[in-house]
Amino acid sequence: MKKMILITMLLLAGMGTSLAEGRIHILPFPQQVEEGDGDYCTSSEVLKVAAVKEFKAELGLFKQQLKDDRQIKVSRTCMKKADVRVVKAVVPLAGRDGSYRIRIDGAGVLVEAYEASGAFYGLQSLAQMVRKEEGRLVFPQCRIEDWPMLSWRSFMLDEGRSFKGMEVVKQLMDDMARLKMNVFQWHLTDDQGWRIEIRKYPRLTEIGSKRDSTQIGWYEWDTYDGVPHEGFYTRRQIREILDYAAARHITVVPEIEMPGHSAAAVAAYPWLSAAGKEIKVPCKFGVQYNVFNPADPKVLAFLKDVLDEVMDLFPSQVVHIGGDEVRYDEWKNSPMVQEFIREHELGSPAGLQVWFTNHMAAYIESKGHRMMGWNDITGEQLHDFQTETSEVKVSLSPEAIVQFWSGDYSKMARSAERGNDIVNSFNEYTYLDYSYEYDPVQATYNWKPISLKKAYLFNPVPEDFPEQLKSSIIGSGCQMWGEWIPTVEKMNYQVYPRIAAYAEAFWLPAGKKDYDRFKENLQPFLKHWEKHPVPSQKNSDSCTCRQE
Ligand code: ACM
């Protein structure tokens, strides 16, 4: 299977096409590169490094990384004797966090950064440039000035559907760090599983983190693997992941789905839904009918308790509440919910969802955080199953961050006009569960394939987006949804190498991208992913999954 993944990756990356010119091979490619003619060579096979005190931690990780990935020894020394010096810049380049400058000449290597993430990214670039030659280490002479186009460059992992575990998450974060991606969106709850310990409500994990079996194949197929699936993260494990992420300048944004995609929570506490019926954690994928009841003060109190524990644990300013694909059937059938809609003059279940979202946004803001949700939270009609409920009399708080995934760019523009910041995660370009090539099964849902090239050419700030609204697009993300990735191997196949294409698409403006150059710079990553496959999860071999 591993071999097959590598061959596929090489084919997808278009091996054998002409190589782009240039001596600087960095991915994502820097904003400005001036190449020199010569090299800087160290006097031995040990790289001598020094950094100002603010950047010592970044240097420590660089040292470890060169040792693990390239078997290069790094030793710390004083500034005067160092091959590589990491110093503080007077100002950030382009006013951006994450910016850095590298100067390599005959005398040595100088990395300048204003703050720690810039130093970290400068060292990541350096790690990609160093070559081993005849007992020495060699760097191409050059000047680089670099900064990210977007401040939010995310990868999302859906563990609600498919629990992967600590080692997989850490490995993904290692690759994100190499690719200068800085937000790990952790989709921790969904209909098919609740994956985060909440002390006040232990049944969320006792009941909600386990299901009897898992649907395989496709949404309409009546096929199940018959293998129980379970898993959740304790608070201690989450702290370990958060430390791991922080060292790599990755912010972990927790996503706790509400009011929909909440069947696992309802299985644990049936009173959370207006129907109040006992259910089991679903084994079937697709949008479920069990949703939280926002008209019940006890349910709102429950959700605030959950968010309190989440905000206590995660340092991220942003808290994601999901908000996508809410089926309104239970709300329409509940006299209590209908009365609530009338009393608050909300007009429709969609209006109730906006009211609920604003209520949670205000709570999250009162705790010094900021709410984010999928673009369903705007109240715009996105799904066939919501057609009859389009009247919305309330509008979304302008403080909320809207993660655009569905509809067309006019919807994204309307959110920007209303003052919301946007993360562009348009499904047609950024969903990692979409196949690389035409797939007749996925085509039944109108899922169009996303080739490596299509992923690379994705422009998160569309050219024809209204000029005055472009600055509202603060970021972009790629999303690994969990329905059809029962094994780590299958997940890897979907993620690699497209994650690298997104990393460059989020870092560089369209005018500076070059697909041939990208394919060439991808080669060392492909080799790395061959040598360091993501470790297998415990039960990865026991599932029967559709083979490529
Ligand atoms: C989504 O894909 N349901 C956000």
Q: Tens digits of per-residue pLDDT, 360-414?
A: 999 999 999 999 999 999 988 888 887 655 677 788 999 999 999 999 999 999 9
**Which residue lies with its CA nearest to atom 3 of ligand 1?**
324
**Which residue lies with its CA nearest to atom 1 of ligand 1?**
324
Rounded to the nearest angstrom, the distance between the alpha carbon of 354 and the centre of ligand 1 is 17
Rounded to the nearest angstrom, the distance between the alpha carbon of 325 and the centre of ligand 1 is 7
Atom of ligand 1 nearest to the CA of 403: 4
Whether the upstream peptide bond of residue 398 has omega within 30° of 0, thus cis, is no
| Short-list 206, 306, 320, 299, CA closest to 252 | 320
Position 383 scores a pLDDT of 83
Note the Cα 434 to chain centre separation in Å: 16
Kindly list the protein residues whose Cβ atom lies closer than 6 A to any atom of ligand 1: 324-325, 374, 405
Give the C-alpha separation, 520 to 25, whole Å. Answer: 8
In tens, the pLDDT along 151-203 reads 999 999 999 999 999 999 999 999 999 999 999 999 999 999 999 999 999 99
Position 533 scores a pLDDT of 66
* 15 — pLDDT class (breaks 50, 70, 90): very low
Of residues 380 and 433, the one with the higher pLDDT is 433
Average pLDDT over residues 451-458: 98
Q: Report the SS3 class of residue 376.
A: helix
β-bridge partners, 211: 229
Average pLDDT over residues 503-532: 95
* 435-441 long-range contacts, CB within 8 A, separation 24+: 436/8, 436/12, 436/498, 441/217, 441/218
Atom of ligand 1 nearest to the CA of 322: 4
Position 1 scores a pLDDT of 41
Kindly state the tokens that stand for 43.
């006097």
Position 390 scores a pLDDT of 61
**Which residue lies with its CA nearest to atom 2 of ligand 1?**
405
Atom of ligand 1 nearest to the CA of 425: 4
Give the C-alpha separation, 533 to 489, whole Å. Answer: 9
